[in-house]
Structure 1
């Protein structure tokens, strides 16, 4: 059975331990990385995290969708969706 996902607090504590730094420095580093990834993907670019994967934005065209409650069909406007492709190294480490 899967365990609960790691929280930001737990991630910061583990990062601080790996960096041999305090939690404030680790929080600043994590927030900076998150901001950089957000800015790049929002601008239409992609970010590759070595050993983890690639985060990018994909545009979805305008399409017809159906409301499952009423069965009514309507047109959904074009939008963007954030996607992530997982790196082979991470897949291999998880699978064996």
Structure 2
């Protein structure tokens, strides 16, 4: 696992430096991107950026589980999750 990380503030600063835009403008664009992704996932719309990534909502069926402390059988309700898949350009950058 990578021991380095890039938080949102550092990402905004890096994109602003690379693009020549202000940090406020880049921050606004990122906020709009995350808001659009969130709305799309909530409405079961797949977002795909070819070569980079795709984001989609997935469904999980109801199932039976077990409480590890007591061993008691419990019912786990159906639910939703988010699947993020890396595209070819992102995969190539990781090699």
For structure 1, which runs of at least 5 residues remain unmatched after alignment? none
Following superposition, the deviation at residue 92 of structure 1 comes to 2.0
Give runs of aligned pairs for residues 4-83 of structure 1, distance below 5 A.
Answer: 4-83=4-83
Q: How many residues align?
A: 95
TM-score, length-scaled by structure 1: 0.90
Deviating beyond 6 angstroms after TM superposition, the runs of 4 or more aligned structure 1 residues are none
Inter-partner Cα distance in structure 2 for 1:30 and 1:62: 35
CA RMSD between the two structures: 1.3
TM-score, length-scaled by structure 2: 0.91
Inter-partner Cα distance in structure 2 for 1:72 and 1:86: 38
